[in-house]
Amino acid sequence: MHKPEKPVLSLLTKGVSDNIPLWLMRQAGRYLPEYQEIRKQANGFIDFCLTPSLAAEATLQPLRRFDVDAAILFADILLVPFALGAKVSFLEGEGPRLDPMEDEKKVEELFYTQETIAPVFETLRRVKPQLKDYQTLIGFCGGVWTVACYMIDGQGRQDFVKAKEAAFHQPAFLKALMKKIEEASLAYLLGQIDAGAEVIQIFESHAGQLEGQAFDDFIIQPTQRLVEGIRKQHPNFPIIGFPRGASLDDYKKYFHQTGISGCGLDQNVSLEEAKEQLLPLGCLQGNLDPTLLLEGGAAMERQAKKILGALGSNLIFNLGHGVMKETNPDHMARLVSLVHGFQKGAEA
């Protein structure tokens, strides 16, 4: 099958591609037995991310199994707080834990040292020459608000109540913290680009926590500044934004106002609304429910075809959130061949 140079890159920069490309969020990780194997070789998850030989291998593992169109750097959004000097740990089966930030005094103590996370750049340099000519190398960071959520609440939560309280009652504290995260994230992303990242994705996983003015202040504006900061040095650099959980109106504003090149959709965005209201703004990425990938079979295939039929004119096929750790890799292989076999213009 003929493939253009790099379909992911081509869609984001030129808006055209012969094929509908795909990659999957969390395509590396615990659902792969070979990941579990190398994970044991590190002293904890941060050490794993900061050991280029292991992180490069984890990045490449899914590409050995599946014909995906992009590699995503193996790292984590919480490496930025780590490089700012926050204590970050990952408890087995429980997710991340950070010492919660409480006030501006704590914020003043944060100091970003790029050397701390420089091994990530080495990971990118090792991965790049191993990609096929049509595969795009994606770097990433967390959205500034999402990283602040973890730093203030100290762990993943349903509602990030302390971070939201800060948004409404301690805006000076939240803004000071977010400024540090934003500056660090920009330096980190520029480092990734220098090391070979061809596209950047900003994971605003907890965008759905805010709406109205707070969505503008704490999500749109910092994202806009990150995008500008990157483009000041790399004009037109392709950037995917992923404001997971945002309302349709906020998705529209986010896509329109931040300057991103493509917008990631979670599985709750309806295909009809995405087609009518978001596709005219540019390239979309998403949005198969990871639970359908877990389930596999006819239900997964039906929904994948619906997505391809509705958005295929300007789509990077992906999930609406990351691959779940219980997922059978065979389901993923089936999905990849379905997407690659889909002809543009076919009926859903």
Active site residues: 26, 30, 39, 76, 150
Q: Is the peptide bond before 318 cis (omega within 30 degrees of 0)?
A: no
Q: How far is the CB of 206 from ligand CP3 (least distance, A)?
A: 8
| Residues in touch with ligand CP3 (CB under 6 A) | 25-30, 39, 45, 72, 74, 76-78, 90, 95-96, 140, 156, 203, 205, 322
- Which residue has tokens 């590396």? 28
d(CA 190, CA 201): 13
Strand-strand pairing, 136-142 and 95-98: unpaired
Q: Compute how many other C-beta atoms are within 10 angstroms of the C-beta atom of residue 122.
A: 16
Q: How far is the CB of 51 from ligand CP3 (least distance, A)?
A: 13
Of 232, 234, 247, which Cα lies nearest the Cα of 278? 247
User: Which residue number has the CB closest to ligand CP3?
Assistant: 205
Nearer to ligand CP3, 205 or 310 (CB): 205
CB 148 within 8 A of CB 174: yes
Which C-beta is closer to ligand CP3: that of 140 or that of 188? 140
To the nearest whole angstrom, how small is the minimum distance from the Cβ of residue 37 to ligand CP3? 12
Query: Checking phi first, is residue 134 left (phi over 0); if not, alpha (psi -120 to 50) or beta?
Result: alpha
Cβ proximity to ligand CP3: between 77 and 86 the closer is 77
What's the first-to-final CA gap in the chain, in angstroms? 22
Please report how close the Cβ of residue 278 comes to ligand CP3 at its closest, in angstroms.
20
For 128, counting Cβ atoms within 10 Å of its Cβ (0-12 exposed, 13-18 middle, 19+ buried), the class is middle
Nearer to ligand CP3, 156 or 296 (CB): 156
Closer of 19 and 59 to ligand CP3 (Cβ): 59
Minimum separation from the CB atom of position 71 to ligand CP3 (A): 9
Q: Which of 71, 78, 89 is nearest to 25 (CA)?
A: 71
